[in-house]
Amino acid sequence: MSGVPILSLMLAIPTVAAIACLFAGDRNARLIALAATLVDFALGVMLWANFDIGGAQWQFVESAPLFGRFNYALGIDGMALMLIMLSVFLMPLCILASWESITKRVGLYMAMFLIMEVVMIGVFMAQDLLLFYVFFEAGLIPMYFIIGIWGGANRIYAAFKFFLYTLLGSVLMLIAMIAMIREAGTTDIPTLLNYNFPPEMQTWLWLGFFASLAVKMPMWPVHTWLPDAHVQAPTAGSMILAGVLLKLGSYGFIRFMMPMFPEASAEFMWLVFALSMVAVVYTSLVALVQSDMKKLIAYSSVAHMAIVTAGLYALNQQGIEGALIIMLSHGVVSAALFFCVGVIYDRLHTREIDRYGGLAVNMPAYALFFMLFTMASIGLPGTSGFVGEFLSLAGIYEASSTVAFVCTTGIILGAAYMLYLYRRIVFGELTKDDVKAMPDLNPREWAILAPLAAVALWMGVYPESFLAPMRGDVTTVVARLAPAKPAGDAHLAAGKPKPAAAGHGEASGEAHHAGGVQ
């Protein structure tokens, strides 16, 4: 694929399609959006097929100066590749999920989703700090309109809350970026990843990034916008919000905060662990008492993302790899769960759990898919959830057994609320007449759920196909953190540094730069 600007093509196709949707009729807008997202997915598969595992860290690089220090610079590593694949995989399924439920302003709706695809994959492709910020912030706009125009009864409140929460934190991140550019004299992300910022400056830069990325994930206690946004958003909006947009925050952690500010990352290890532990337990308990299906799954997302932050800040290979797999798994499984809610909402127009019961009788195919995704959310071996949680907990345990114990408690609570949800909806007596009349899955719903189920099982059975492209990049991050890591462990292990871990990180980092990925 030498000479083919595949990354620019992946950005250009949905952009052109979004403009076309604005001037097309309802049916044509749906077809244009579906075709554009399927073409982008095909290009993503080509990207994955041609990615050289063990080769250069940055591949498919494109660069052109724009003005001043602002450059149009694109490129991907293994971590970005996997998150781009997650985005382009989910997007055509979101278009199909909206096929019948969205009936007003269809062209604008499809255009908003296509713009969303551009900014999401642009975040993962950007190799210029200012370009990253533009894509990162631009994601607010289509999501704001998707919630505010096509959402539920309280959509305006939810849209404004989502916008204000995420915008406020991002202003602080912009200030931190300006300080970085003044200090390093460049906006080039690969250069900044190897720049040694002064330790006292790292503290303030870390806090500036944390203010934005913690809201985006979201971390406790700045998570309250998420349940409102999910409840009010249309089904496809919830799918892409949970599937990809929440991952922009955790991507920022591992792309910027950890390798660029290693000393500060080690210094604030205790803070991330503390917030993650509270989030895992608190949001799981809140999920247990929810009567709205969407709210329950939204709170479960906060708990899962808390395990991601804890795994990342274990600052070791297993923890970071596990966090990345959870990000991919949660993207697939949470999107599937929100669609499962949408399937029965479209039939009965309520998300109240007590209105259902006995769906296994008249919707057996639905019950089967819902069971699979429930088990994957819990982390049943053989599903995508198990691999990420096992690796993350192993990495967290190496850093702190206390944090690992609390996170494991959250996983047990997760099993409680997900199985409780499933039992009340699918099992029991089928007594309500309107529930009896609900038909099973139609071909369009099969076409959405079957690929999601296949990927959830694929990740659970053969996770190496997803880990292999990312492993070398994780090793590079661990090597970058290695000199600061003993100080970070000292916060948790009463001053017991682990020089062996640092040595392993350095050795692994050298192996990666030499092109040897195990």
Residue pair 107/23 in contact by the 8 Å Cβ criterion? yes
User: What 3 state SS string does 159-175 have?
Assistant: HHHHHHHHHHHHHHHHH
Residue 339's pLDDT band (cuts 50, 70, 90): very high
Residue 434's pLDDT band (cuts 50, 70, 90): confident
What's the whole-number average pLDDT of the chain? 86
For residue 70, give the H/E element and its range. Answer: strand 70-76
Question: DSSP string spanning 314-372?
Answer: T-SHHHHHHHHHHHHHHHHHHHHHHHHHHHHHHHHS--BGGG---HHHH-HHHHHHHHH
Q: What's the average model confidence in pLDDT over 314-329?
A: 91
pLDDT in tens, 184-234: 888 888 999 888 888 889 999 999 899 888 888 888 887 888 888 888 888
Query: Which residue bears the tokens 């008249």?
Result: 362
pLDDT in tens, 289-307: 888 898 899 899 889 889 9
Please state the domain extents for the chain: 268-518
Q: What's the average model confidence in pLDDT over 76-90?
A: 94
Query: Which residue bears the tokens 């000292």?
Result: 490
pLDDT in tens, 418-427: 999 999 899 8
pLDDT in tens, 357-413: 888 888 999 999 999 999 999 989 999 989 989 999 999 999 888 999 999 998 889
The pLDDT assigned to 1 comes to 54
The pLDDT assigned to 490 comes to 45
The pLDDT assigned to 83 comes to 94
pLDDT of 501 > 50? The answer is no
Residue 459's pLDDT band (cuts 50, 70, 90): very high
The pLDDT assigned to 31 comes to 93
Between 34 and 219, whose confidence is greater? Answer: 34
How far is residue 393's CA from residue 412's CA, in Å, rounded to a whole number?
13
pLDDT in tens, 460-491: 999 999 999 999 999 999 988 888 775 434 44
